[in-house]
Amino acid sequence: MHLLLLRVKAYYLDSSGERSNTSEAIVTDTEAIYNLGISTVTVLGPESVINRNEEGEAKPGAAAHWPDVTVSVEIKGWGFDPATITAALVKDDNSDISITLNTKTTDTLTGTLTLYTGSTSAWAPRAAIGFWSVKIKQQTILSTYMRDGFEVQYPKPVISAFGNNPDMSITAPNFFDAQPIKVVGGPFVNRVNNPSVRLIRYGEDGAILDQLNGVVTSVTVPSGTYGYSASPNCTIYANFDLRGVSPGDYEIQVVNTDEPTLAGHVASNPFTPDSIPPGYYYTITEISPEVYDAYVYNTNPVSHVTYQDFGNPWRLVIEGLYFNSVGSPSVEVYLCSEVTSGLPAGDVRQGTVQGVLSYAYIVADFDVSTLPLGYYKAYVRNLNNGTTGWTSGAPLQVATPFAATLTGFTSNTGHFYENYYDIPGLITGTNLSYASSISITNGSTEYQLAPSDYTITSNTLITVNTLNLINCDHLQSWKVRIYFTGSMFGSLERDFTIELGPSIILARNNYGDTRAALYIQRASTTPEFSYETTTVNAKARRSYNATFYVRGMGFPIASTTRLKVYRTTWSREAYVNCVMDRDNKIVRLISPVWSMSGTTNNYVYSIEVQGSGATYQQSNRWTVTTSGS
């Protein structure tokens, strides 16, 4: 007996172009065996598994693997033995898929098969995506095949709605790098990979001119379906980089799941003017920068005034929309007195760009020292595409020199004392009503006054209600500084002198915590605190040691203060450094740990401090008590 490998390759045309099928069989040299082969395989239904193109055509031997759907097929050929013939789909590295034959003649077979299970049983793919061969076998004869005669596909996605997320508009400028688009439809299969989304612009001849591939950020599908759900039950969210792309009308396409040129991966049908409502394209427009305003950086309320001989270079903010941020620099910016033929003209000054923020703000430095006095437009050119824009008016002013003055800063008491925090004063000058904030500085440290610390009384007077000089060393040089906004933008300074003042102890208060004017830490094994109030003394215990916390003002920063507690023949004293808490307005002396041995029960004792000047005494300020009281 002789064996013969018979291979037949047939070519045919359909709407997708030239295609081919190959059939192979190993036969003997008997007449009966040569008389067996497959000519066509056709999927009969149901309609849900047939992926039709926009003309309603479908590949005859292709089916989508919807879960739990029985696929009907027809196999035509010759030499079939109805009594013994069997059929199956086969593919390397995959289990055979049996075809249940329902009708059998010598040249036609019809049958059913299942490609996927899932909705009524555990999800179990029965057929890998791609080409399978059709195998028939009958008694006493080796098998014959139609190579790649059957294609298992993903179901074709159907788009029911799309647009920008969240407003579903269908127009965007060619500017943003992550334009969010939402697509509603189905099936959008995400069991293995997410579906792909793209925008495609076609030429008049149907050729693809531009294709934009979206970055899918999420896919939402009905629970348990993995996206095998009909439109409009599924949603895709994707971001598109539209920067610099060609303007025009784009069709949107969804693919389950990779490139549609791969076997089994299927794209949604393209839109045509006849198949969709008018305007149902996604339109990308050429965008130019929009320029709304120009003002001085870090001013509140914003100032539109610069000065020729003060503050150069001026840092300005140009506000608008669609400012390019790609490249360095990404934009050019100008101040100009007019715009002629779309170009800056008249008196022009180019700025140095420092940055572009959120496509809407440009920060740039301008030297206006040689610009004539007057009002100027802001002009922007995007360097990625050369588009330009400018303000409709001329919002920025180059003005005459700074006009406010600061003539004096005095204390109501005649002195500014180191480590005092309640000193009232007066600031005099002109145009003080434009002041936006006040501070004091030694050149390296600047302390801002709170708005409640001062009152702008008039255009020539500011009343300082309380000046905090805690941690302000009298050995350093100090200035008061006033900041201005609006037409008086800038700042002025004036020297003032801080002196060492008398050290004092604060009056009694009812704080009852670490801000109390006097409190005593006493302990044997466990520390405890005794706080004074306006009516009750803090108490030390005769049998305990004690540490005294004394709050006051004027304790010197650079030297020690003598702290003494005493009564008649008993006393304790030490030279200690002060502890400062500027934010909470606390200046405090903390004594060493002193023994209370020798004190007398229920007697009241005095306290005194001496800094750089006279001694400050407070009699009957604290009390000794017995242990346990």
- Give me the domains of the chain, ranges plus CATH numbers: 3-153 (2.60.40.10), 158-285 (2.60.40.10), 290-399 (2.60.40.10), 405-496 (2.60.40), 504-625 (2.60.40)
* Model pLDDT for residues 336-385, shown as the tens digit of each residue: 999 999 999 999 999 999 999 989 999 999 999 999 999 999 999 999 88
Say what the pLDDT of residue 11 is.
Answer: 58
Is the pLDDT reported for residue 192 higher than 80? yes
Mean pLDDT over all residues of the chain?
88
The CA-based angle 153-154-155, given to 5 degrees, is 110
CA dihedral 618, 620, 624, 629 (to 10 degrees): -110
* Model pLDDT for residues 216-258, shown as the tens digit of each residue: 999 999 998 888 888 889 999 999 999 878 889 999 999 998 8
Lowest mean pLDDT, pick from 164-173, 189-198, 305-314: 305-314
Is the pLDDT reported for residue 427 higher than 90? yes
Confidence of residue 55 (pLDDT cuts 50, 70, 90): confident
d(CA 390, CA 398): 18
Kindly state the percentage of the chain with pLDDT values over 70. 89
- CA terminus-to-terminus distance, the chain: 123
Between 490 and 215, the more confident residue is 215
Say what the pLDDT of residue 558 is.
Answer: 94
Q: If you search the block for the tokens 């055509």, which residue do you land on?
A: 57
Say what the pLDDT of residue 44 is.
Answer: 95
Average pLDDT, integer, range 279-288: 83
Is the pLDDT reported for residue 561 higher than 90? yes
Confidence of residue 402 (pLDDT cuts 50, 70, 90): low
Contacts for 410 with CB less than 8 Å, ≥ 6 apart:
425, 426
Average pLDDT, integer, range 453-468: 95
Q: If you search the block for the tokens 């192979």, which residue do you land on?
A: 24
Average pLDDT, integer, range 413-417: 96
Lowest mean pLDDT, pick from 247-261, 275-289, 610-624: 275-289
Q: If you search the block for the tokens 């041995």, which residue do you land on?
A: 597
Between 24 and 80, the more confident residue is 80
Say what the pLDDT of residue 32 is.
Answer: 45
Contacts for 580 with CB less than 8 Å, ≥ 6 apart:
419, 470, 471, 557, 586, 587, 588
